[in-house]
């Protein structure tokens, strides 16, 4: 990005943030992480991401009306993911591009994302994953990579719409129903199998056969992204089937 020209044609303007550094070990972006700002005022959210005091930023910012600004050059390491993990990688900032979507989030009563805003997010994401060849399974929410700390972009974020626009991995969730489930305090082989599946998909979790607090948070993060009808951290049949189907439908990674 030059001082004036954004790298994505979807972005209208450059609005530079000083909050970035060098990508470690010369890494290139191989993930796309979506966030909501979680602030009631989008102008204030933008100013915060550009304030040196905040030590936070993202590469792009999407307003409620669909306008897009570029804050950080794609070649640089923006500070959006924090302490995170995916597929064994813990320096997510060094290998990702981050998009902040203006939305008050859970603290603001979780208002829905306007269609025009989602159209911009989809177009911007498609442009980024195409240019950087980011695999569909590596388009994720902040909650996926930091399930213990973060809940954004939240269960109202329309991952299905994005998938239909060619961005991200998604399968239709299996219908919820009553029946057998696993939850906090359960132990044994089925829990180990569940944890192994979550880790296989990419989530950062210890496989210890105990449905502990970490497991509950990862299950809730999974639900938020892939089975948003009920986000309760309880591994019911629908959650487990959806996870299984998602793994089975994974596009083969390019060699
Ligand atoms: Zn976030």
pLDDT tens per residue, range 165-185:
999 999 999 999 888 899 999
CA of 237 from ligand 1 middle (Å) equals 29
What is the reported pTM? 0.97
pLDDT score, position 4: 81
**Integer CA distances (angstroms), 244 to 172, 173, 239, in order:** 12, 10, 9
φ, ψ dihedrals at 100, nearest 5°: -100, 125
Residue 40 makes CB contacts below 8 A (sequence gap 6+) with 104, 108
pLDDT tens for each residue of 115-128: 999 999 999 999 99
pLDDT tens for each residue of 52-104: 999 999 999 999 999 999 999 999 999 999 999 999 999 999 999 999 999 99
Provide mean pLDDT across the span 145-157.
98
CA of 177 from ligand 1 middle (Å) equals 31
Confidence of residue 1 (pLDDT cuts 50, 70, 90): low
Measured distance CA(91)–CA(146) in Å, rounded: 12
Residue 3, pLDDT above cutoff 80: no
| Residue keyed to tokens 């892939």 | 226
pLDDT score, position 255: 45
pLDDT score, position 207: 98
CA of 55 from ligand 1 middle (Å) equals 13
CB atoms within 10 A of CB 109: 8
Measured distance CA(147)–CA(145) in Å, rounded: 6
Residue 110, pLDDT above cutoff 60: yes
CA of 189 from ligand 1 middle (Å) equals 33
pLDDT score, position 179: 84
Provide mean pLDDT across the span 185-208.
98
Interhelix angle 189-201/237-248, rounded to 10 degrees, is 40
Q: Is 70 helix (H, G, I), strand (E, B) or coil?
A: strand
Measured distance CA(195)–CA(211) in Å, rounded: 9
**Integer CA distances (angstroms), 220 to 48, 59, 96, 168, 250, in order:** 28, 27, 23, 19, 21
CB atoms within 10 A of CB 185: 10
CA of 187 from ligand 1 middle (Å) equals 32
Residue 253, pLDDT above cutoff 60: no
Catalytic residues, by residue number, are 100
Nearest C-alpha neighbor of 96 from the set 50, 150, 139: 139
């Amino acid at each position: 990005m030059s001082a004036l020209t954004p790298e994505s044609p979807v972005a209208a303007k450059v609005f530079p943030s000083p909050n970035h550094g060098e990508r470690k070990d010369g890494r290139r972006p191989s993930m796309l992480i979506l966030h909501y700002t979680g602030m009631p005022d989008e102008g204030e959210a933008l100013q915060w991401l550009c304030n040196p005091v905040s030590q936070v930023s993202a590469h792009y910012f999407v307003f409620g009306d669909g306008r897009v600004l570029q804050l950080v050059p794609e070649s640089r390491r923006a500070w959006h993911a924090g302490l995170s993990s995916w597929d064994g990688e813990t320096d997510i900032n060094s290998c990702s591009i981050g998009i902040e979507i203006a939305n008050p989030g859970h603290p603001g009563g979780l208002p829905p994302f306007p269609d025009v805003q989602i159209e911009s997010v989809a177009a911007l994401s498609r442009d980024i994953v195409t240019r950087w060849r980011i695999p569909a399974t590596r388009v994720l929410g902040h909650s996926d990579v930091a399930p213990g700390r973060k809940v954004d972009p939240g269960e109202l974020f329309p991952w299905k719409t994005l998938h239909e626009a060619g961005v991200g991995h998604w399968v239709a969730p299996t219908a919820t129903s009553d029946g057998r489930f696993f939850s906090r305090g359960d132990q044994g082989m089925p829990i180990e199998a569940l944890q192994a599946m979550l880790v296989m998909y990419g989530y950062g979790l210890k496989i210890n056969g105990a449905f502990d607090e970490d497991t509950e948070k990862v299950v809730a993060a999974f639900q938020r992204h892939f089975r948003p009808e009920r986000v309760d951290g309880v591994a019911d049949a629908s959650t487990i089937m959806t996870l299984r189907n998602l793994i089975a439908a994974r596009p083969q990674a390019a060699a």
